[in-house]
Amino acid sequence: MNILISEDDPLHRSFLKTAIINALPECKRVLETQDGRAAIEAMAGETIYGVVMDLQMPRASGVDAAKEIWRRQPDMRILFWSNYADEAYVRGVARIVPSGAVYGYLLKSASEERLELAVRGVFQEDQCIIDREVRGVQQRSENILEGLTDSEFEVLTDIALGMTDKAIAARRKISTRGVQSRLKHLYEKLGIDQSDATQEFGPVFNSRTRAVALALSRGLLNVDGLGAYQDGLETWLSSRRL
């Protein structure tokens, strides 16, 4: 059994390696990479049983690397190990997990004992191990009254990229009225006041930019995610030019 670690911090890599060796005596070899792109390349040249993946890394994020690894090997076991339980990260992982895949999502604040249990659970016992805090974010995002629906999250990312209503409608294949309806629900869930109350200088906020600011402050969006969404937008725009 060979396990791959993808983590840009050398101290964290050393900690992970020790935890893996303690948790999996049957592990023959622990390979180490410093970024997501190197992890993808390592998978092509080695026989890997499972991966422990940091989410925030240079060159390719953990989500991007895992997406490519799962594209090639849908049954690969991946344990995400991260400082972040923001909804943007949780949604990013949830969107790429293949049906039936065994994976885990553990926060770096977890104890060494908890980490070893997660390693054993994912790689040896075929269990999906999700940190309690991460599970709470998942449940809130699935609750229509508290979290954003996928369509509302899509329109949030679109306005964060600066897209107009008409462009969003074309990309999402809905009417402009449909876009405006999604925006209305988005604003309501973010607590943005849509009343006509103004100061002497006019409205206090632009609703679109206010939504993006609140989403960033609450962890619904992050820089890594926006980079990936920008790539997706450019792909869509390129297809329109053909």
- Give residue 145's pLDDT band: very low, low, confident or very high (50, 70, 90): very low
Phi first, then psi, for residue 46 (nearest 5°) are -135, 160
Q: Give 240's pLDDT tier (boundaries 50, 70, 90).
A: confident
User: What does the pLDDT read at residue 193?
Assistant: 75
Secondary structure of the chain as H, E, C letters = CEEEEECCCHHHHHHHHHHHHHHCCCCCEEEEECCHHHHHHHHHHCCCCEEEECCCCCCCCHHHHHHHHHHHCCCCEEEEEECCCCHHHHHHHHCCCCCCCCEEEEECCCCHHHHHHHHHHHHCCCCCEECHHHHHHHHHHHCCCCCCCHHHHHHHHHHHCCCCHHHHHHHHCCCHHHHHHHHHHHHHHHCCCCCCCCECCECCCCHHHHHHHHHHHCCCCCHHHHHHHHHHHHHHHHHHHC
Statement: residue 195 has pLDDT above 50:
yes
**Pair 90, 65: CB distance under 8 Å:** no
Tell whether the model's pLDDT for residue 203 goes beyond 80: no
In the predicted structure, residue 88 carries a pLDDT above the cut 80: no
What mean pLDDT is reported for the chain?
Answer: 87
pLDDT at 144 over 80: no
Kindly indicate the confidence band of residue 146, based on its pLDDT and cuts at 50, 70 and 90.
low
**Looking at residue 39, what is its pLDDT?**
93
Which of 123, 120, 134 has the alpha carbon at shortest distance from 84? 134
Q: Which residue's entry shows tokens 């908890």?
A: 114
**Mean pLDDT within 61-75:** 91
Q: Which domains does the chain have, with CATH numbers?
A: 2-142 (3.40.50.2300), 150-237 (1.10.10)
Taking the C-alpha atoms of 114, 40, 95 and 106 in order, what is their torsion angle to the nearest 10 degrees? 10
Average pLDDT over every residue of 70-86: 90
CB atoms within 10 A of CB 149: 15
Per-residue pLDDT band for 60 (boundaries 50, 70, 90) equals confident
